[in-house]
């Protein structure tokens, strides 16, 4: 009897220990199963980046959307024959195909190493590829925590209440990031991802044409910039036209995003509000004046983003094809 309860107790302790360790990600997670995973991914991502710059913004945004909907579990990559997966939601239709293709290419590179075949999750490959595109565009290098498992569920319905909208005010932005344990400072640092990439005109056209009955142009926009935007985005613009989120250095991962905000050149309302709301302005001013402070905050925030809702241990699966569950 005594030894039975001792066994019960020790197995309870053991499973507690297992569940706490399995809930942790670690940067050497694949050291025995796929020791070269980092260089395999980096080579594939670098090749793809040399073919097209869009690789970088597309991968970075894909990681953000994936993590915010059901956690960082590659559920955003799942295809649906009935078009009812996360990626079919209107907010995700504009995710550039090159982000998905980056993961497909990196996954093929990883799986081509016999030791690694079907050992590395699509979620981890996306996290690594995201770090690599940040570095390729001039941003900071940081260690990537690994050990995520891939999700088996992807529904269009789970998207709506999780992704922030470009017309959100500071309270709305804070609450959507807060759901995911990210602070206002994390949110401001992560918004710095808009230092690369583009937005379609429809996402901000209200700001340059019909802001209010009294004022057609959003008064927080730099007027010179607003008129440039009107030229690039005429009424009835071709819906495929897209404008750089950072008009100053659109292809460089730097802190120009924040100096833009100081000059009224935040393209989306959710960008400019970070400067116009007194509660977030001092952080924007700090990041604008100090690129190191921005980079440090970005690394801390994207590491926390990479922990959102992760599946570990024996949850989920290691998907064989990133676009479908096993
Ligand atoms: C703060 C709330 C955010 C809002 C409201 C927002 C909204 C948007 C919108 C509307 C676009 C343009 C989409 C299009 O028209 O094609 C965009 C693009 C982009 N977003 Fe965000 N975003 C936010 C935060 C983030 C975060 C946290 C990241 C990554 C860490 C990110 C990365 C990107 C990138 C890289 C692009 C450019 C994509 C491309 O060029 O293909 N965004 N975002
Ligand atoms: C508006 O942009 C111009 C030109 O880019 C710049 O010189 C000016 O300082 C900006 N205005 C404001 C109010 O920041
Ligand atoms: C936020 O943190 C709490 C406490 O650590 C955790 O239980 C919860 O799952 C986290 N939320 C997300 C979305 O990761």
Same domain (yes/no): 199, 251? yes
**What does the mean pLDDT of the chain come to?**
94
Same domain (yes/no): 184, 294? yes
Using CA atoms, how far residue 120 sits from 73, 123, 241, in Å, is 12, 8, 37
Which residue among 163, 196, 218 closes a domain? 163
Q: How far is the CA of 184 from the centre of ligand 2 (A)?
A: 27
| DSSP H helix total and E strand total for the chain | 14, 2
Instruction: Calculate the dihedral angle through the C-alpha atoms of 306, 310, 312, 318, rounding to the nearest 10 degrees.
Output: -90
* Beta carbon of 178 within 6 Å of any ligand 3 atom: no
* Ranges in the chain, pLDDT < 70: 1-23
Which pLDDT score, from 0 to 100, does residue 24 have? Answer: 86
Question: In this structure, is residue 325 part of a structural domain?
Answer: no
Domain span including residue 53: 24-163
Which pLDDT score, from 0 to 100, does residue 23 have? Answer: 63
- For the chain, the domain total comes to 2
Same domain (yes/no): 59, 184? no
Which residue among 163, 183, 212 closes a domain? 163
Same domain (yes/no): 183, 215? yes
- Residue 317's DSSP bridge partners are 150
Question: In this structure, is residue 35 part of a structural domain?
Answer: yes
Residue 263 alpha carbon, nearest atom of ligand 2 = 14
Same domain (yes/no): 88, 176? no
Q: How far is the CA of 261 from the centre of ligand 2 (A)?
A: 11
Catalytic-residue membership of 200: no
Residues annotated within a binding site for Ca(2+): 66, 69, 71, 73, 75, 86, 195, 246, 249, 254
Question: In this structure, is residue 5 part of a structural domain?
Answer: no
Which pLDDT score, from 0 to 100, does residue 160 have? Answer: 85
pTM over 0.85: yes
Instruction: Calculate the dihedral angle through the C-alpha atoms of 256, 261, 262, 265, rounding to the nearest 10 degrees.
Output: 100
């Amino acid at each position: 009897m005594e030894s039975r309860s001792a066994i019960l107790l020790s197995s309870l302790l053991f499973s507690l220990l297992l569940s706490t360790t399995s809930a942790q990600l670690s940067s050497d997670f694949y050291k025995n199963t796929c020791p070269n995973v980092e260089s395999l991914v980096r080579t594939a991502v670098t090749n793809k980046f040399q073919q097209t710059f869009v690789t970088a913004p597309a991968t970075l945004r894909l990681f953000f959307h994936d993590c915010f909907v059901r956690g960082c579990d590659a559920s955003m990559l799942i295809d649906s024959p009935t078009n009812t997966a996360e990626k079919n939601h209107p907010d995700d239709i504009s995710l550039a195909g090159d982000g998905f293709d980056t993961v497909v290419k990196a996954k093929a590179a990883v799986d081509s190493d016999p030791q690694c075949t079907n050992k590395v999750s699509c979620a981890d490959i996306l996290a690594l590829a995201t770090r690599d595109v940040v570095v390729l565009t001039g941003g900071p290098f940081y260690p990537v925590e690994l050990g995520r498992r891939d999700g088996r569920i992807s529904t269009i319905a789970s998207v709506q209440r999780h992704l922030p909208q470009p017309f959100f005010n500071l309270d709305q932005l804070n609450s959507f990031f807060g759901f995911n344990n990210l602070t206002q400072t994390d949110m401001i640092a992560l918004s710095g991802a808009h230092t690369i990439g583009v937005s379609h005109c429809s996402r901000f056209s209200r700001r340059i044409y019909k802001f209010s009955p009294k004022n057609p142009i959003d008064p927080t926009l730099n007027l010179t910039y607003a008129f440039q935007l009107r030229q690039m985005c005429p009424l009835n613009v071709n819906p495929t036209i897209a404008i750089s989120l950072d008009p100053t250095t659109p292809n460089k991962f730097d802190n120009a995003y924040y100096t833009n905000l100081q000059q009224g050149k935040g393209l989306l309302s959710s960008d400019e509000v970070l400067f116009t709301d007194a509660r977030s302005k001092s952080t924007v001013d700090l990041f604008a004046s100090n690129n190191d402070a921005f980079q440090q905050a970005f690394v801390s925030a994207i590491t926390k983003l990479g922990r959102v809702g992760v599946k570990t241990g024996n949850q989920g699966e290691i998907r064989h094809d990133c676009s479908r569950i096993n």
